[in-house]
Structure 1
Amino acid sequence: MTIEEARRWASNLDSVVVYEQGAVCRRLARGAVPPDGRVRVTGLPRSLDPASLRARVPDARGVRVSEARVEVEAEPLDASAADGLRVEVERLRDEHAAARGRRDHQLNLIEEVRSLRPVVPPARRPEDALRRTPVDAWLELADFVEERLTRLHSRLVELEDALGGVEHELGVAVDKLARASTDAPSAHVETTVSALLTLDVSGAGSPDSEIELELEYGVPGAVWAPAYRLTYRQGDSSGRLVLRASVAQRTGEDWTDVALGLATADLRRGTGLPKLRSLRIGRSQPGPAPAGWREPPAGLSDLFAGYDTAPRRPAPTVRPVTPSATPPVPPPLSAPQAYGGPPASLAAPGGAGGAAPERFAGHVPAPAPTARARKAEPRSGGPAPAAPGAAPPPPAPPSPPAGPPRPSGAELDYSALVLCGPDERDGRRGRLFPGSSADPVATEHRHRAESVAVLPLPGHAVRPRESAGSFDHRFDTAARTDIPSDGTWHTVTVGEIAVGMHTEYLCTPSVEQTVYAALTLSNSSAQALLAGPVEVTVDDDFLLTAALPTLAPGGVRRVGLGPVEGIQVTRRTHVRESTSGLRNSTTVLDHRVHVELANRLAGPVTVEVRERVPVSSEPDVRIEERADWSVPEDGSGPDRLAAGTRVWRVGLPAGGTSELDGGYEIRIPAGRTVVGGNRRS
């Protein structure tokens, strides 16, 4: 085993927490600490966010991680180690191209035979004698063409059948490849993503001690949605509610035997705390924090003197610029200029600031403003108008900010700084500047992973961030699970939640003479139930899939189960109009309601019958109720009932019936009528 192999530690994925979009993965690696403390941990996915990498030693034995960075290695892939499914797709594509070529060749033969025609003789001159037509030759040619086309068409049918079979096999293989896990390497290059760690051994630790490392990193391309399965029996006051989750991920690595966690928080939301600086009154003030920036070394401009005096290659031809062209925009100030360095436009030729202004090819002074433009300028407090044909004065460089330089976080990331070469201008050559950290391959992997965010949700499913409201929740699976990186939905079981329940039967015969069943759920657990689809099974028989609303701990909500054919309801009404009072000054509208219920189920039920009486805000309109119904309690949210709702609760034994009678009187002045007519129900 070489030293490089000894420093490579293999890692295995231990746990994953899936957020609204994206996931945080946790890997474990174990090995002996090398003398120099540098370790390369392999096995990381290509789509990970390098800025999210964290490493630590869980049981610190005098060993800590002082530095962690991501490194990508690529090497040609051995043909024997290529993915079998991808090789099969390539083989079927070659076979499909060959079958199509044979079919096209057969079509060309058919066209050639079909184009065989007798040669038309030249036109006969008047003085020539009549020529005999070779009818036998014509008939023989026709027989030959017909026989030949029959054989060719028979062969064409066989080739088209073979082509159709290959197209079907190719389509199936391409679909399997599209749905396959993205954990497999590409066709020709195998990419290895590693974490380079520097371990600091101090205290009781020893360089040869074996430790366990814990790596944590974030990846895009993972989403989830809650789902439920409810099982109960008729008449029971409790049931079994199993929380499940539909999870889809395309992170580039298969999650095999991992502890899965599901959270509703937004992984992309910043959680950094603001820095509150104190204000002190007095002469003694705290010193400024070290900025981590140093002045460039003296004589930096002389370092490139020989390079500037060396013979140059001929400059490319520059297209002349017309006077009407827009003058070039001066480049923005670089970081050293912002820290007090000389701007590029004022640097001496050959110095560190770059070329002099006259060296820029194509620099043409801006044209003088027109007469109309000069009239539009302010007459007082503004600059004096320039003479026609005169060049405008150079823009004054902005003054550098006072105080010590304040470099940004990117300029203090020393591992990402790049030393600019001698061809750089504007005061950049010979200095360190943040380099471009965008990896096009990694960006492509992340974009491919983020495609799972647009997957269509399962029926009745709701995004966890939408149903969680103002709070965040987390659910952990009771057992380890496997989820491949194929970008399709996979259902995993999270755990069982204790809920109380009872079945209610509701009907509003004035709207529809049908009885509906509703399941009232009460969340008696300490976790919230997010909105999602619930599969209801009653007495070991699947009933339906309904939409479960968000249920907070201790909350109670109804879930509709659909119409009940075993309970029948009938409603009849009667309206009578009369007058009363002195000189018949009051119109009395007497409404009678008769409801009949019949239970055809095998057990007793309690039916809630809802009626509604008119509600008026006018003082001269009176409504008198004559029934034994009751006013329901005020609900909240979707369970809130409209004003004027009245409720009957009737208990029906198996095979029993019941009749309900109610009514109300509306008394209005004789000169008025109810909108829409008095005689109505």
Structure 2
Amino acid sequence: MVAGAGQRWGSTLDAVVVYAQGAVCLRLARGVVPSDGRIRVTGLPRSLDPASLRARVRGAAGVRVTEARVEVEAEPAGTGAPDELRREVERLRDVYEAAHARRARQEARVKEVQALRPVTPARKRDDPHRRTPVDAWLELAEFVDGRLTGLHARLVELEEALRVAEHELTVAADRLDRASTDAPSAHVETSVCAVLTLDGAAADAGDAEVEVEVEYGVPGAVWVPTYRLHHRQGDGTGRLVLRASVAQRTGEDWTGVRVALATADLRRRTDLPRLRSIRVGRRQAAPAPSGWREPPAGLADLFSGYDAAGPRPAVEGSAVGGSAVGGSAVGGWSDVAVGSAPPPPPAPSAPQGYGGAPEAFGGGMPAATGLPPGMAAPSGPPPAAPRPSAPRSEDRRRSVGGSFAGAPAPLARMAPAAPAAPGAAAPPPPPAPVAGPPLPSDAELDYAALVLSAPDEQGARRGRLFPDAPYDPVAVEYRRRAETVASLPLPGHAVRPRESAGSFDHRFDATARADIPSDGTWHTVTVGEIPVGLRTEYLCVPSVEQTVYATLVLDNATDQALLAGPVEVTVDDDFLLTAALPTLAPGGVRRVGLGAAEGVRVTRRTNLHESTAGLRNNITVLDHRVHVELSNGLARPVTVEVRERVPVTTEPDVRIEERADWTAPAEDAAGERHAPGTRVWRVELPAGATTALDGGYEIRIPTGKALVGGNRRS
């Protein structure tokens, strides 16, 4: 936690792009740039990814951001709504426990009174029989009866009070669970800010306000598409409203923001590999400077006097310095403070960027061309016999640890290895040194974050610069809680965007601003209206079921795909049903079922006649006749598609002859796939009309191909 200098600018969340998992937020901040050009943009969430920070100046020519990094501050937290809800839950829990204890005591009293029984004294052998005191027995029974009546009445009151207290506690606990995570949950509030350094502000900006836009990525946001379809019968168009169910637990409420929805994978790298050319000949192109310099000669002798003085006496109750010093990239060896803390852990490898190249993030530091002459090396021991004129090929880059895309080697491969523990297996030998200077990682090129190691650190770290990247368990816990929204149960018929989008990525921009609290539950956001072509068709397969089904044929004439998801169908202002809409590509056609149509009826009858033909009656002829009757009881004309199926054969001797006016359906009609032998009748049926369809086919089978037991087919 640091609190450095710099003018503080408040920021407002302006836009959010929700990806398949995670989001990229855009904040705006305005103010007058100070003379030193350093500002602190506040209001960032605790769960942001520091490697995804971007910043730029809008509308101010000559002013640009030269440095951007994330810093965390701590301050006492004020009382907010979550604290009040938490105190209310604690109060109701105490009330519930007190009511539970009162009921337990009352039940104990009831059991105690119920256990009252008359006990007769023991009779000795020589004593005569005594008379039973019936009056005393009756008085005891009346006492127990009256006492139990009062105790049971009180027990009923206590059980009702316990039930009310339990209900109030459950409601308050549910409100606390659903409360926004935007407010802190502890007495100390940790806030995140972006520390920016602006260049050219004094010359160009003056006293004018400058608007800065800060972009960062956060986990803990998911979305699924939903639709609402409005259709009027007899009309060839309809209104398809695209909506989205969005859930987020990023730690900040999205209030009045522009929302965009994307199907892309936020963690997938999109940078292209850089293919370097290799010249054939003696003259080679000069290699690009790597930003690395050899340490100065005699660096080990610099601490000889410090080592000769012996160990420093420990001071109880105080700590001098820190684990490292804040030597900057241009300060050389000045401002060196001695520390006694153990060396910092090695910096973890930088995470992949949010949809862009790694150099586009990482705090906004531009790629440097070199270090000042007095700067120590940010990595391990210097290589032996460097050859500046040697070409840096792809093989050398891979051997140092870089990727094919040109990513630099991670710090763990460049730092010196720690000594193995006694008794442990010997580590594998290090790779052979590569000629030429090593390639530092992105963290080692971030000069403002380099820290000079103290003299107490032994080995190759003392007196050299290393990235200061401490482990932040609080931020890790915030991100872990945020990512729990990925396990939310999906609404009915909902499909994840990555599953329905396939190999293509789409983006949908909402037409209006929306409010989405950070409570980890689904919220519906209206994205916009999509014009689609609609027509109502009726479909039946009478050979399977003599029922006519109504369907809507959707035609996507836009240049955007419609992802799979639930669609609420409204016909003539009456809600009909919720169906599953499949993925509809631009220009595609899909059929959505609306259920059985009671106003259109179908009847099917078949007739089979078996005979023989041929010169010697050696061919069996199976004559199938199909008769279908359709009746339209609706007040409007309808289009009915009747489907039949003709048998297919692979035997050249078996012939099938059709006698009907049906047609074979196209394979891409309404995006459907039909079985071989499918035949279709399309009938325009007026209101109240009845029609009949006759068809059939003959199967000619040679005698040698006849089946045992007969050739009759259903």
Q: TM-score, normalised by structure 1?
A: 0.82
Residue 211 of structure 1 corresponds to 210
Q: Partner letter of residue 540 of structure 2?
A: C
How many angstroms does 1:13 deviate by? 0.7
Give the 3 Å change call, closer, same or farther, for CA 167–512 of structure 1 in structure 2. same
How many angstroms does 1:15 deviate by? 0.7
In 2, Cα distance between equivalents of 1:308 and 1:356: 23
How many angstroms does 1:136 deviate by? 6.7
Residue 154 of structure 1 corresponds to 153
Give unmatched runs, 5+ long, in structure 1.
Answer: 314-331, 342-352, 367-392
Asked if residue 460 in structure 1 is aligned to residue 493 in structure 2, the reply is yes
In 1, Cα distance between equivalents of 2:428 and 2:543: 82
Residue 105 of structure 1 corresponds to 105
Give the 3 Å change call, closer, same or farther, for CA 407–80 of structure 1 in structure 2. closer
Asked if residue 582 in structure 1 is aligned to residue 581 in structure 2, the reply is no
In 1, Cα distance between equivalents of 2:428 and 2:628: 91
Q: Partner letter of residue 543 of structure 2?
A: S
Asked if residue 473 in structure 1 is aligned to residue 512 in structure 2, the reply is no
Q: Partner letter of residue 470 of structure 1?
A: S
Q: Partner letter of residue 181 of structure 2?
A: T
Residue 274 of structure 2 corresponds to 275
Question: Which string of whole-angstrom CA distances, capped at 9 and with x for unpartnered residues, describes residues 251-289 of structure 1?
Answer: 111111111111111111112232333323324540451
Residue 636 of structure 2 corresponds to 603
Contact 1:507 1:610 in 2 (8 A): yes
How many angstroms does 1:105 deviate by? 3.1
In 1, Cα distance between equivalents of 2:571 and 2:428: 82
Give the 3 Å change call, closer, same or farther, for CA 279–450 of structure 1 in structure 2. same
How many angstroms does 1:134 deviate by? 7.5
Residue 622 of structure 1 corresponds to 655
Give the 3 Å change call, closer, same or farther, for CA 407–118 of structure 1 in structure 2. farther
Equivalent residues in 2 for 1:638-653, closer than 5 Å: 638-653=671-686
In 1, Cα distance between equivalents of 2:417 and 2:632: 96
Give the 3 Å change call, closer, same or farther, for CA 513–99 of structure 1 in structure 2. same
In 2, Cα distance between equivalents of 1:478 and 1:672: 68
How many angstroms does 1:212 deviate by? 0.8
How many angstroms does 1:83 deviate by? 3.5
Residue 556 of structure 2 corresponds to 523
In 1, Cα distance between equivalents of 2:101 and 2:252: 39
Equivalent residues in 2 for 1:311-350, closer than 5 Å: 337=380, 339-340=382-383
Equivalent residues in 2 for 1:112-191, closer than 5 Å: 112-114=112-114, 124=124, 144-191=143-190
Q: Partner letter of residue 688 of structure 2?
A: G
Q: Partner letter of residue 578 of structure 1?
A: S
The number of equivalent residue pairs is 619
How many angstroms does 1:454 deviate by? 1.4
Q: Per the alignment, in what secondary structure is the counterpart of residue 582 of structure 1?
A: coil
CA RMSD of aligned residues (A): 3.4
Contact 1:71 1:196 in 2 (8 A): yes
In 1, Cα distance between equivalents of 2:580 and 2:432: 64
How many angstroms does 1:122 deviate by? 7.2
Residue 321 of structure 1 corresponds to none
In 2, Cα distance between equivalents of 1:209 and 1:447: 42
Contact 1:537 1:544 in 2 (8 A): yes
How many angstroms does 1:585 deviate by? 0.8
How many angstroms does 1:89 deviate by? 1.6
Moved more, 514-523 or 407-416: 407-416
Contact 2:292 2:437 in 1 (8 A): no
Question: Which string of whole-angstrom CA distances, capped at 9 and with x for unpartnered residues, describes residues 589-629 of structure 1?
Answer: 11111111111111111211111111112111111112222
In 1, Cα distance between equivalents of 2:300 and 2:96: 69
In 2, Cα distance between equivalents of 1:117 and 1:412: 90
Q: Partner letter of residue 580 of structure 1?
A: A
Equivalent residues in 2 for 1:311-460, closer than 5 Å: 337=380, 339-340=382-383, 363=422, 400-420=433-453, 424-460=457-493
Asked if residue 259 in structure 1 is aligned to residue 292 in structure 2, the reply is no
Residue 66 of structure 1 corresponds to 66
Give the 3 Å change call, closer, same or farther, for CA 283–559 of structure 1 in structure 2. same
Asked if residue 295 in structure 1 is aligned to residue 280 in structure 2, the reply is no
Moved more, 25-34 or 428-437: 428-437
How many angstroms does 1:73 deviate by? 1.8
Q: Per the alignment, in what secondary structure is the counterpart of residue 29 of structure 2?
A: strand
In 2, Cα distance between equivalents of 1:523 and 1:655: 32
In 1, Cα distance between equivalents of 2:305 and 2:656: 101
In 2, Cα distance between equivalents of 1:442 and 1:433: 22
Contact 1:106 1:152 in 2 (8 A): yes
Question: Which string of whole-angstrom CA distances, capped at 9 and with x for unpartnered residues, describes residues 209-241 of structure 1?
Answer: 321111101111111111221112111111112
Contact 1:231 1:538 in 2 (8 A): yes
Residue 84 of structure 1 corresponds to 84
In 2, Cα distance between equivalents of 1:302 and 1:131: 111
Q: Per the alignment, in what secondary structure is the counterpart of residue 593 of structure 2?
A: strand
Residue 248 of structure 1 corresponds to 247
Equivalent residues in 2 for 1:562-573, closer than 5 Å: 562-573=595-606
Q: Per the alignment, in what secondary structure is the counterpart of residue 299 of structure 1?
A: helix
Give the 3 Å change call, closer, same or farther, for CA 309–485 of structure 1 in structure 2. closer
Q: Partner letter of residue 16 of structure 1?
A: V
Contact 1:483 1:490 in 2 (8 A): yes
Contact 1:354 1:426 in 2 (8 A): no
Asked if residue 612 in structure 1 is aligned to residue 611 in structure 2, the reply is no
In 2, Cα distance between equivalents of 1:60 and 1:11: 18
Question: Which string of whole-angstrom CA distances, capped at 9 and with x for unpartnered residues, describes residues 541-560 of structure 1?
Answer: 11222222222222222222
Give the 3 Å change call, closer, same or farther, for CA 308–115 of structure 1 in structure 2. farther
Give the 3 Å change call, closer, same or farther, for CA 301–565 of structure 1 in structure 2. same
Q: Per the alignment, in what secondary structure is the counterpart of residue 529 of structure 2?
A: strand
State percent identity of aligned pairs.
68
In 1, Cα distance between equivalents of 2:82 and 2:713: 79
Give the 3 Å change call, closer, same or farther, for CA 365–656 of structure 1 in structure 2. closer
How many angstroms does 1:294 deviate by? 4.5
Q: Partner letter of residue 14 of structure 2?
A: D
Give the 3 Å change call, closer, same or farther, for CA 130–192 of structure 1 in structure 2. same
Question: Which string of whole-angstrom CA distances, capped at 9 and with x for unpartnered residues, describes residues 476-504 of structure 1?
Answer: 11111111111111111111112112111
Residue 567 of structure 2 corresponds to 534
Residue 226 of structure 2 corresponds to 227
Residue 713 of structure 2 corresponds to 680
In 2, Cα distance between equivalents of 1:585 and 1:437: 92
In 1, Cα distance between equivalents of 2:417 and 2:501: 57
In 1, Cα distance between equivalents of 2:217 and 2:15: 12
Give the 3 Å change call, closer, same or farther, for CA 676–454 of structure 1 in structure 2. farther
Q: Per the alignment, in what secondary structure is the counterpart of residue 165 of structure 1?
A: helix
Give the 3 Å change call, closer, same or farther, for CA 500–592 of structure 1 in structure 2. same
Contact 2:612 2:621 in 1 (8 A): yes
Question: Which string of whole-angstrom CA distances, capped at 9 and with x for unpartnered residues, describes residues 648-675 of structure 1?
Answer: 2222211111111111111111233258
Give the 3 Å change call, closer, same or farther, for CA 26–570 of structure 1 in structure 2. same
Give the 3 Å change call, closer, same or farther, for CA 479–285 of structure 1 in structure 2. closer
Q: Partner letter of residue 42 of structure 2?
A: T
How many angstroms does 1:677 deviate by? 4.5
Give the 3 Å change call, closer, same or farther, for CA 676–186 of structure 1 in structure 2. farther
Between Structure 1 and Structure 2, whose CA radius of gyration is higher?
1
Contact 2:6 2:40 in 1 (8 A): no
In 2, Cα distance between equivalents of 1:508 and 1:434: 71
How many angstroms does 1:141 deviate by? 5.5
How many angstroms does 1:98 deviate by? 2.1
Give the 3 Å change call, closer, same or farther, for CA 622–482 of structure 1 in structure 2. same
Q: Per the alignment, in what secondary structure is the counterpart of residue 558 of structure 2?
A: coil
